């Protein structure tokens, strides 16, 4: 008569043969599920003890345990071996040649607009100017009114304005409103400061104008400040920024917040083929507006125009970059084209 333990022996033989055929870890894990999973064959063999004739149960139980332990230890030995082998192959294939030269890391750099701002700060720092920052979202009062442009003043048309959804606030169209903030904070003491920052204009975008651009405002207030000081400061600045060979031209102009007002141009590089197009045939590019601070503006800032005078200017750093490097399109600055940016 066949012994119930024969089934166990057959199961062991089959299981060991299959185990030997497993070539990698996933195959081994599948084998383990087949025999030792919840519905595994070894589990089933163990619980089959209930169906074994009574007199064979003791020997069946012993044999089942022996087979179970034997299979478990064969499995864990096979698994250890497979893990070792896969580690060895991955070590062999991932091995590092420490003698190879490293891949060069590309160095980041500052955006050209940031570079020129820093150049400007450095030049004015040497001339004794502090840096003062003010709001990009401004009140109508500061952006226009206190700069001597009451509501309906025609000069407001000089700046195409972005209005915010909050009545009475705008995106500043120039850095000039910072003058009022600085004066109110400082009066009655003297001022010598630059005010850099982003400005916004609701304009048609072209090669020479963007809706978003940097400006650097300058403000000097004190006793006996004159137009000669303004001219001297701007000339010293232009010499440092553009070198002694470039020419600077001062023209009279109009701004509501200065009297008298001027504009300053720099000559476009003579050898640049785009010179005519970019300077509308004049050979000059305007880089700033300036003037003697209007008495009304001084008063609005908390100063007595009978005691002090002041000069102010507002310059376009990106225009200056164009001049320095003969860049023919101001729109290149915010396009983030790395081919352009990597040149600086
Ligand atoms: N805010 C003027 C503009 O954006 C530039 C300007 C002109 C600034 C004369 C000044 C100034 O401080 O005195 O067009």
Superfamily of chain region 112-341: Bira Bifunctional Protein; Domain 2 (3.30.930.10)
> What are 13-57's pLDDT values in tens digits?
999 999 999 988 999 999 999 999 999 999 888 888 888 888 888
Query: Atom 3 (ligand 1): residue with closest C-alpha?
Result: 174
CB contact set of 306 (below 8 Å; sequence gap of 6+): none
Whether residue 86 has pLDDT greater than 90: no
Nearest-CA residue for atom 13 of ligand 1: 290
CA of 257 to the centre of ligand 1 (A): 8
Q: Is the CB of 263 under 6 A from ligand 1?
A: no
Residue 2 pLDDT class (50, 70, 90 cuts): low
Across the range 239-246, mean pLDDT stands at 90
| Number of Cα atoms under 13 Å in the Cβ half of residue 85 | 9
> Would you say residue 237 has pLDDT above 90?
yes
Ligand 1 nearest-atom number relative to CA 288: 5
If one counts every other C-beta atom within 10 angstroms of the C-beta of residue 312, the result is 27
- Averaged pLDDT, 189-210: 93
The reply to whether ligand 1 has any atom less than 6 angstroms from the CB of 279 is no
Reduced to 3 states (helix: H, G, I; strand: E, B; else coil), residue 100 is coil
pLDDT given for residue 308 in this prediction: 98
DSSP state, 60? H
Going from N- to C-terminal start, the domains of the chain cover 2-94, 112-341
Copy the structure tokens of residue 41: 């064959």
Tokens 């062999």 locate to 92
pLDDT value, residue 273: 86
Asked whether 286 lines ligand 1 (CB < 6 A), one says no
* Mean per-residue pLDDT of the chain: 92
The pick from 124, 146, 174, 254 for probing ligand 1's pocket by mutation, whose C-beta has the most ligand atoms within 8 angstroms, reads: 174
Rounded to the nearest angstrom, the distance between the alpha carbon of 115 and the centre of ligand 1 is 22
Question: Ligand 1 within 6 A of 314 CB?
Answer: yes
CB 312 near ligand 1, within 6 Å: yes
Burial of 95 (0-12, 13-18, 19+ CB in 10 A): exposed
Residue 1 has pLDDT above 70, yes or no: no
CB 217 near ligand 1, within 6 Å = yes
User: What is d(CA 143, CA 176) in angstroms, rounded to the nearest whole number?
Assistant: 7
- 256 close to ligand 1 (CB < 6 Angstrom): no
pLDDT digits (tens, 9 = 90+) for 135-186: 999 999 999 999 999 988 888 888 889 999 999 999 999 999 999 999 999 9
């Amino acid at each position: 008569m066949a012994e119930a333990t024969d089934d166990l022996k057959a199961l062991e033989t089959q299981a060991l043969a299959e185990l030997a055929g497993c070539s990698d870890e996933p195959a081994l894990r599948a084998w383990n599920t087949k025999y030792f999973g919840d519905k595994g064959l070894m589990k089933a063999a163990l619980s089959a003890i209930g169906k074994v004739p009574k007199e064979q149960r003791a020997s069946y139980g012993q044999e089942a345990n022996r087979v179970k332990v034997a299979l478990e230890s064969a499995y864990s030995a096979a698994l250890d071996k497979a893990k070792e082998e896969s580690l060895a192959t991955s070590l062999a294939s991932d091995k590092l040649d420490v003698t190879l030269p490293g891949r060069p890391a590309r160095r980041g750099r500052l955006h050209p607009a940031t570079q020129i701002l820093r150049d400007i700060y450095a030049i004015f720092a040497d001339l004794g100017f502090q840096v003062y920052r003010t709001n990009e979202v401004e009140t109508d009062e500061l952006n226009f009114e206190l700069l001597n442009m009451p509501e309906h003043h025609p000069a407001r048309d000089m700046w195409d304005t972005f209005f915010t959804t909050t009545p009475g606030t705008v995106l500043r169209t120039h850095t000039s409103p910072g003058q009022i903030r600085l004066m109110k904070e400082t009066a009655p003491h003297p001022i010598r400061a630059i005010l850099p920052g982003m400005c916004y204009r609701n304009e048609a975008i072209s090669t020479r104008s963007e809706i978003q651009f940097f400006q650097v405002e300058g403000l000097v207030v004190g006793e006996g400040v004159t137009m000669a000081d303004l001219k001297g400061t701007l000339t010293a600045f232009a010499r440092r920024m553009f070198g002694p060979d470039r020419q600077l031209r001062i023209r009279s102009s109009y701004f509501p917040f200065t009297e008298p007002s001027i504009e300053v141009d720099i000559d476009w590089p003579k050898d640049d083929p785009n010179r005519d197009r970019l300077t509308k045939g004049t050979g000059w590019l305007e880089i700033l507006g300036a003037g003697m601070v209007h008495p009304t503006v001084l008063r609005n800032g908390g100063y007595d125009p009978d005691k002090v005078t002041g000069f102010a200017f507002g310059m376009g750093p990106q225009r200056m970059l164009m001049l320095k490097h003969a860049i023919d399109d101001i729109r290149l600055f915010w396009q983030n084209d790395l081919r352009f940016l990597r040149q600086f």
